[in-house]
């Protein structure tokens, strides 16, 4: 024994020595380059939960993901054995992951894969393990078939209807309902236990039903299974009359024997309960007896943990959330009635699965370094700690001299390369286990620099500076700094080196400029980096802008002279009232000043000059005050404008009194503006020292005043002078003056009494202000007593502002009052205020709840009120709960959202109207009574159906123009048909601006949702009105207009005031715009719309105000142009642009508006620009900003034939044919050939130069053998006049002939239909002889010569 103790002592000493020289674990930076080169064991990053329940209808996915370098590989064990994934075709593993996917498309049962799974992630440096994942398939077994005999019970006796739901995974949720799927009403007498059984503390005749059915809802499969219903028969000793039943006397005046309380659950006088730590504790006590007992809970030896306790199931269930060890103990439930009471003790034990106290973390060490892994866990019972290495018990692994296991700690000494591994700590007890992976990585890495190379740092002179040098290495390198490559390391004095490598220069000077080198050394090598430091002069403003006042119309100038380092470029910017200053054409800025000529009221404000360089900045501000006119001497004022006054001086206190003192001062210089007011401020050193508060103001002609003060305050005062320019600086403080104490003279405000619980009343009030205390040790006297009982006052003295009265009756009135007191006496008492103790849940439900006069959207409801005493609080309202159960329209899904409506009524048989119901639907509802905090039990549930109504608008209505002469209409059924659809009706009419045509009507069957309309004219526009039909009539109308043509532009302009969108050929603006912005508030009656006006005007120059309204008829043609805007009853003013002056200069149109927005502005000019504003007719000062918009140019349906495609194509074809014919003729001519019968071109040219004596063609057609036609003239067989008849003849060719030496061939049509007929002409010989040579003047010859 002695030797064993000595060995333990030596181990502890060695552990202590090791801990003294243990190296700090290396923190690996998240630098991408480091992480890429870093070799690390695997780490599990994602896995499925330990208890994994899956849905049998889905594929099974078991997650396991890990990281490491190199990338880990994965394997699985199932039920402790290797799981060969490749042999099972249903199981696949995701790429670069260990996640398993088990599919059942090809068959198989999910139950075959139940079991315990564990994932192993492996690489060259170790093995990481996942938790053991218990895979189970959710089950929803059927209820066993059974025949339930009717349950017969005597009235007044207790009863338990057992549920015994089938065991499921996870267990089902049970509830009781009738065969009509109405929940069994539960209250203090009837309730469901934690085991699902239905308990009756005592049975009444109304409980006799034939359909008590227990239902089990299985969460995973989303199914509900119903047990065969119980039939309950109640035996009564006296006849039962339903009309005699009421909530206060459920036995209708019949005599039923009473019974003392007994427990239905749990049985006996005591029981025990074991609960896991961090889970919820549910304790249940259900008592029987007549009258129904009430249940209360206690904990022996202490109070119930109020912040975690909740009472449920009408106080029969005690719930404690997130149980801890201190919640263990004996809990007592007591059931009592006026016949007696009974108790049951429940002994609660809190057990705990293991939970972490010190979870092991990854450890990165350099060679020859020391470290440790610690694994500490707690639980009840205390868990057992087991270490594993790479998934194997550490006891069975090869011995490692550098590793020592000491219980929950592993020590590492002088680790070497190759000893990296993953260690697992498993902490377990009988209630569960914890498994954690922590790797030990032995890393050797030469030093390397992580920051940018040769960085340039610029700093301001005399500022503290940091030079960064991030580095890494394993073992951790030693870092030293050098300046300009000389001397020893920099550390101490002006310099300080941090452990992360940063060098601090406490105050940078010019001589600190230079190149700094950081060098990291270790046994594996060295690395260095350089940082160049430049010290710059500070950027500052040497001539500041000063506060000044300027007369309107004069010039103001603010100085801003800057001095900075010559090597740093600077920028100077100006702001006004912290917003960017727009210089524009008027303001001028140079390097040293800002000049504001022609000062106006808009220039007043605070101007800030900001100068910035790349490393620092400076700023200065001054205020400009604009004055209307010069004061006193104009010449002096122009030279010296008024300014703020100087602060008062020489403050003096005199005439001291208990609550007053005289303050006197000497005013300072008013700087050419008379002092109009003095502001006196005070500061006290007891409650808010250092805070100056306003005391009072006095006229500017006074300099000695009596100050009214509060008792028990140590004052000091200061004075501020005020003139037209502004306030002076505060004066120097006066000497302190302390007033004497007194009793409080203020009554505490806000006295009220209210109950935060059903058995208490909190009396609260507002505490006195600090300056109302009047003395030390402020306290409050509080009195209270029951109202109208005659009892004596109870009282208490407290320092707080609240007092709680316990053990009160529920909601009873109290008289209360309060009084403040201090060491000097008592203050005045408050008036008596009536308060009430806490409220409780109302006990009675409204009865005889029914419905009458149901139409499509409304129903009248009636019920009988509850006894006012059962409300147990201030009556607030009757709250109606109703929901839409279903639609009578077949196949229409509806939302069963619960809705409420409050109804206040104190009559004995209240009634109300439930509106906004959906037609043709089934509804359910019940009603409860409510006080300020609670709601009572529900009444009977009423079902009713609304009548058929008119349908909603179609879900959508689209208009597409698929060609120039047709429009395609498409729509969908309404979201709410509100009945059986009988069809649709479509009304449409032509629209041309503000003119509309005759309306036409089309009707369709309910299954038709489209329609094609043929247009009489491509420029016709239509307005369509579509509505659905039921037997009741037509529903809500969906209105649309036909879309734009393809050559129309869509104009949209949104500025935040109105939204204008061109949607018609006639430039009609018809959208619904957003609400008007920036309108000042005004007060109007909610049902009254003030007359409004719309005016359209033009001006040659923009003006801020509107000229008097006139009406002018424009002389130019206008189209119906409209604009739509949304606003409160306003005046809309639209002003045309100057460059399109159709209405004339300085004219405006005003239109009064008397309807709700949106407002349509009609009869505008197409293609014109307007300015529009909105203002109130009643309050002309309320106006919006001007808004500019332009109407769309009117569409003109006029077609230019020269731009049409068909015409251009035809002309091109004709030109191409003529060109081909000309080319053929030229080729023939160049070859010397002759035309058989003449060329078409030749004939055409002949026609152009034909003589008046030409002979007509023969009208008789002769058809040749080849099928062509021959047109013969009178002289077919004669030669042409003027043509050469022989080679030696004296007759020459006529100059008007275009026939090239024809051989007498007949005229005919060629293959393409061209006419190549022969024209013969008879001429006089004189004419022939007169033309000696006609070749040169022939049109064909002329053309040929040109070619």
Instruction: Give every CB contact of residue 943 below 8 A, 6+ residues apart in sequence.
Output: 885, 922, 923, 924
User: What average pLDDT score do residues 1172-1189 get?
Assistant: 70
**What pLDDT does 688 receive?**
87
User: What average pLDDT score do residues 373-384 get?
Assistant: 93
Q: Tell which wins on pLDDT, 853 or 1189.
A: 853
The predicted-structure confidence for 913-952, as pLDDT tens digits, reads as follows 999 899 999 999 999 999 988 999 999 999 999 999 999 9
Q: Please give the distance of CA 931 from its chain centroid, rounded to a whole number.
A: 36
The predicted-structure confidence for 582-632, as pLDDT tens digits, reads as follows 887 888 888 889 999 989 988 999 999 999 999 999 999 999 988 876 443
**What pLDDT does 632 receive?**
39
Give bridge partners of residue 574 from the DSSP assignment.
Answer: 609
Strands of 957-960's sheet in order across: 957-960, 966-971, 1010-1014
Pairing of strands 286-290, 259-265: antiparallel
Residue 487 pLDDT class (50, 70, 90 cuts): low
Residue 622 to residue 952: CA distance in whole angstroms: 64
Residue 194 to residue 284: CA distance in whole angstroms: 7
**What pLDDT does 1273 receive?**
37
Contact 1167, 1067 (CB under 8 A): yes
The predicted-structure confidence for 859-886, as pLDDT tens digits, reads as follows 999 999 999 889 888 898 999 999 999 9
Residue 1115 to residue 1100: CA distance in whole angstroms: 18
Residue 978 to residue 948: CA distance in whole angstroms: 6
Q: How far is CA 1270 from each of CA 569, 1261, 1264, 1275, 1306, rounded to the nearest angstrom?
A: 99, 6, 7, 14, 6
**What pLDDT does 69 receive?**
87
User: What average pLDDT score do residues 1284-1297 get?
Assistant: 38
The predicted-structure confidence for 739-756, as pLDDT tens digits, reads as follows 988 999 889 999 999 898
**What pLDDT does 1291 receive?**
38
**What is the number of other CB atoms lying within 10 angstroms of the CB of residue 722?**
18
pLDDT higher than threshold 60 for residue 1262: no
**What pLDDT does 474 receive?**
84
pLDDT higher than threshold 80 for residue 18: no
DSSP state, residue 90: T
What angle, rounded to 10 degrees, do the helices at 1205-1230 and 1240-1248 form? 100
pLDDT higher than threshold 70 for residue 1286: no
**What is the number of other CB atoms lying within 10 angstroms of the CB of residue 216?**
24
**What pLDDT does 629 receive?**
61
pLDDT higher than threshold 80 for residue 261: yes
**What pLDDT does 343 receive?**
93
The predicted-structure confidence for 984-1009, as pLDDT tens digits, reads as follows 999 998 888 777 888 889 999 999 99
Contact 1189, 1172 (CB under 8 A): yes
**What pLDDT does 1106 receive?**
34
pLDDT higher than threshold 50 for residue 1131: no
Residue 1180 pLDDT class (50, 70, 90 cuts): low
Contact 243, 199 (CB under 8 A): no
Instruction: Give every CB contact of residue 720 below 8 A, 6+ residues apart in sequence.
Output: 647, 648, 678, 679, 681, 727, 728, 729, 730, 731
Tokens standing for 1170? 């307007």
Choice among 114-118, 207-211, 345-349 with the minimum mean pLDDT? 207-211
The predicted-structure confidence for 1032-1081, as pLDDT tens digits, reads as follows 899 999 988 876 554 443 333 333 333 333 333 333 333 333 333 333 33
**Would you call 985 exposed, middle or buried from its count of C-beta atoms within 10 A (0-12, 13-18, 19+)?**
middle
DSSP assignment of 366-390, as one string? -TT--EEEE-EEEEESPPEEEEEET
The predicted-structure confidence for 954-965, as pLDDT tens digits, reads as follows 999 998 877 778
Q: What percent of the chain has pLDDT over 70?
A: 77
User: What average pLDDT score do residues 651-670 get?
Assistant: 89
Q: Tell which wins on pLDDT, 164 or 722.
A: 722
Q: How many residues does the chain have?
A: 1347
**What pLDDT does 247 receive?**
57
**What pLDDT does 242 receive?**
58
Q: Return phi, psi of residue 1326, to 5°.
A: -65, -40
Q: What percent of the chain has pLDDT over 90?
A: 41
Q: How far is CA 397 from each of CA 361, 364, 390, 403, 1089, rounded to the nearest angstrom?
A: 21, 21, 9, 12, 92
pLDDT higher than threshold 70 for residue 513: yes
**What pLDDT does 288 receive?**
94
Residue 765 pLDDT class (50, 70, 90 cuts): very high
User: What average pLDDT score do residues 1205-1234 get?
Assistant: 85
**What pLDDT does 1178 receive?**
55
DSSP state, residue 248: S
Q: What is the value of pTM for the model shown?
A: 0.45
Residue 1132 pLDDT class (50, 70, 90 cuts): very low
CA trace torsion 177, 337, 868, 853 (10° rounding): 20
Choice among 575-584, 995-1004, 1316-1325 with the minimum mean pLDDT? 1316-1325
């Amino acid at each position: 024994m002695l030797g064993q103790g000595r060995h333990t002592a030596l181990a502890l000493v060695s552990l202590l020595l090791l801990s003294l020289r243990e190296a700090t674990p290396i923190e690996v930076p998240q630098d991408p380059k480091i992480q890429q080169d870093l070799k690390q064991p695997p780490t599990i990053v994602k896995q499925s939960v330990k208890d994994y329940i899956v849905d049998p209808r889905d594929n099974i996915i078991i997650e396991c993901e890990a990281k490491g370098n190199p990338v880990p590989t994965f394997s699985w064990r199932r039920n402790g054995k290797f799981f060969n994934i490749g042999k099972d075709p249903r199981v696949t593993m995701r790429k670069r992951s260990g996640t398993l996917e088990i599919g059942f498309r090809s068959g198989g049962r999910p139950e075959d894969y139940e079991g315990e799974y564990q994932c192993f992630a492996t690489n060259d440096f170790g093995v990481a393990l996942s938790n053991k994942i218990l895979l189970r398939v959710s089950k929803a077994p059927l209820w066993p078939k059974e025949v339930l005999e009717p349950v017969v019970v005597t009235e007044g006796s207790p009863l338990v209807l057992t549920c015994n739901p089938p065991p499921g995974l996870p267990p089902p949720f049970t509830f009781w309902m009738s065969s009509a799927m109405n929940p069994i009403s539960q209250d203090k007498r009837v309730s469901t236990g934690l085991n699902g059984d239905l308990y009756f503390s005592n049975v009444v005749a109304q409980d006799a039903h034939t359909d008590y059915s227990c239902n089990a809802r299985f969460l995973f499969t989303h199914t509900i299974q119903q047990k065969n219903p119980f039939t309950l028969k109640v035996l009564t000793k006296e006849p039962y009359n339903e009309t005699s039943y009421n909530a206060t006397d459920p036995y209708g005046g019949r005599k039923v024997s009473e019974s003392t309380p007994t427990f239905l659950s749990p049985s006996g006088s005591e029981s025990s309960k074991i609960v896991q730590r961090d889970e919820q504790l549910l304790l249940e006590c259900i008592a029987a007896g007549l009258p129904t007992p009430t249940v209360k809970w206690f904990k022996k030896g202490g109070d119930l943990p109020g912040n975690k306790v909740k009472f449920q199931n009408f106080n029969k269930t005690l719930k404690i959330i997130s149980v801890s060890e201190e919640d263990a103990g004996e809990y007592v439930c007591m059931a009592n009635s006026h016949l007696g009471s009974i108790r049951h003790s429940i002994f609660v034990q809190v057990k705990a699965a293991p939970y972490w106290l010190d979870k092991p973390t990854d450890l990165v060490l350099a060679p020859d370094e020391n470290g440790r892994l610690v694994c500490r866990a707690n639980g009840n019972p205390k868990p057992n700690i087991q270490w594993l290495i790479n998934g194997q018990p550490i006891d069975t692994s090869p011995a490692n001299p550098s590793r020592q296991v000491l219980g929950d700690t592993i020590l590492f000494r002088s680790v070497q390369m190759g000893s990296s591994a993953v260690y697992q700590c498993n902490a377990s007890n009988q209630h569960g286990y914890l498994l954690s992976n922590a790797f030990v990585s032995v890393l050797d890495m030469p030093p390397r620099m992580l920051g940018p190379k040769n960085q340039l740092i610029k700093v301001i002179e005399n500022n503290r500076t940091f030079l960064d040098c991030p580095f890494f290495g394993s073992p951790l390198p030693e870092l030293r700094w050098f300046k300009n490559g000389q001397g020893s390391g920099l550390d101490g004095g002006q310099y300080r080196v941090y452990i992360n490598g940063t060098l601090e220069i406490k105050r940078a000077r010019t001589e600190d400029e230079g190149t700094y080198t950081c060098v990291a050394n270790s046994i594996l090598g060295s690395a260095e980096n350089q940082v160049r430091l430049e010290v710059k002069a500070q950027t500052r403003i040497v001539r500041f802008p000063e506060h000044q006042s300027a007369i309107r119309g004069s010039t103001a100038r603010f100085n801003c002279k800057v001095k900075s380092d010559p090597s740093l470029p600077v920028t100077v910017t100006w702001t006004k009232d912290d917003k960017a200053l727009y210089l524009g054409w008027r303001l001028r800025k140079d390097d040293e000043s800002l000049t504001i000529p022609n000062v106006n009221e808009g220039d007043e404000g605070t101007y800030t000059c900001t100068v910035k360089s790349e490393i620092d900045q400076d700023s200065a501000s001054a205020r400009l005050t604009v004055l209307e006119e010069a004061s006193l001497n104009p010449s002096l004022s122009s030279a010296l404008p008024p300014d703020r006054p100087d602060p008062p001086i020489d403050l003096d206190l005199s005439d001291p009194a208990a609550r007053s003192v005289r303050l006197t001062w000497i005013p300072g210089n008013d700087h050419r503006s008379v002092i109009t007011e003095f502001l006196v401020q005070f500061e006290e050193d007891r409650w808010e020292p250092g805070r100056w508060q306003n005391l009072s103001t006095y006229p500017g002609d006074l300099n000695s005043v009596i100050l009214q003060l509060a008792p028990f305050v140590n004052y000091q005062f200061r004075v501020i002078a005020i003139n037209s320019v502004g306030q002076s600086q505060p004066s120097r403080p006066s000497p302190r003056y302390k007033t004497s104490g007194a009793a409080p003279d203020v009554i505490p405000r806000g006295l009220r009494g209210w109950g935060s619980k059903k058995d208490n009343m909190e009396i609260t009030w507002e505490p006195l202000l600090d300056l109302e205390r009047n003395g030390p040790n402020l306290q409050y006297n509080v009195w209270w007593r029951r109202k109208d009982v005659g009892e004596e006052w109870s009282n208490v003295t407290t320092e707080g502002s609240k007092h709680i009265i316990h053990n009160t009756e529920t909601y009873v009135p109290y008289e209360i009052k309060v009084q403040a007191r201090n060491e000097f006496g008592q203050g005045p008492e408050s008036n008596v205020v009536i308060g009430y103790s806490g409220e409780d849940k109302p006990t009675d439900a409204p009865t005889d709840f029914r419905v009458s006069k149901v139409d499509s959207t409304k129903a009248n409801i009636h019920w009988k009120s509850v006894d006012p005493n059962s409300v147990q609080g201030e009556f607030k309202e009757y709250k109606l709960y109703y929901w839409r159960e279903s639609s009578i329209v077949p196949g229409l899904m509806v939302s069963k959202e619960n809705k409420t409506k409050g109804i206040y009524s104190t009559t004995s048989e209240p009634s109300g109207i439930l509106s906004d119901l959906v037609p043709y639907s089934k509804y359910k509802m019940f009603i409860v009574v409510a006080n300020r905090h609670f709601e009572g039990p529900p009444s009977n549930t009423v079902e009713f159906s609304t009548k058929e109504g008119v349908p909603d608008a179609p879900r959508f209505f689209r208009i597409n123009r698929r060609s120039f002469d047709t429009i395609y209409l498409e729509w969908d059924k309404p979201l709410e048909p509100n009945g059986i659809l009988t069809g649709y009706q479509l009304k449409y009419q032509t629209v041309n601006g503000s003119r509309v045509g005759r309306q036409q009507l089309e009707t369709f069957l309910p299954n038709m949702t489209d329609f094609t309309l043929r247009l009489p004219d491509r420029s016709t526009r239509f307005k369509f009105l579509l509505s659905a039909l039921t037997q009741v009539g037509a529903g809500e109308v969906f209105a649309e207009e036909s879309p734009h043509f393809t050559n129309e532009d869509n104009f949209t302009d949104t500025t935040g005031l109105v939204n204008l969108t061109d949607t018609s050929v006639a430039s009609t603006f018809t959208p619904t715009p957003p609400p008007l912005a920036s309108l000042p508030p005004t007060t109007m009656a909610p049902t009254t719309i003030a007359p409004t006006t719309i005016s359209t005007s033009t001006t040659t120059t923009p003006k801020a105000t509107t000229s008097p309204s006139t009406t002018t008829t424009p002389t130019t043609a206008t189209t119906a142009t409209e604009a739509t805007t949304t606003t409160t009853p306003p005046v809309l003013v639209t002003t045309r642009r100057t460059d399109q002056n159709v209405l004339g200069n300085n004219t405006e149109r005003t239109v009064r508006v008397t309807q709700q927005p949106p407002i349509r502005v009609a009869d505008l000019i197409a293609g014109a620009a307007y300015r529009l504003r909105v203002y109130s007719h009643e309050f002309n000062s309320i106006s919006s900003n001007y808004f500019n918009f332009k109407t769309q140019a009117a569409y003109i349906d006029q077609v230019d034939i020269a731009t049409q495609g068909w015409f251009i194509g035809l002309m091109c074809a004709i030109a191409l044919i003529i060109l081909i014919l000309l080319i053929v003729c030229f080729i023939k001519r160049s070859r010397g050939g002759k035309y058989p019968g003449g060329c078409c071109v030749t004939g055409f040219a002949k026609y152009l130069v034909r003589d008046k004596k030409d002979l007509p063609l023969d009208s008789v057609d002769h058809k040749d053998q080849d099928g062509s036609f021959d047109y013969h003239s009178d002289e077919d067989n004669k030669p042409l006049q003027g043509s050469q008849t022989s080679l030696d003849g004296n007759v020459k060719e006529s100059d008007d002939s275009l026939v090239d030496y024809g051989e007498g061939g007949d005229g005919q049509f060629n293959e393409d239909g061209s006419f190549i007929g022969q024209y013969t002409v008879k001429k006089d010989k004189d004419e022939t002889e007169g033309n000696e040579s006609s070749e040169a003047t022939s049109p064909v010859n002329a053309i040929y010569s040109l070619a």
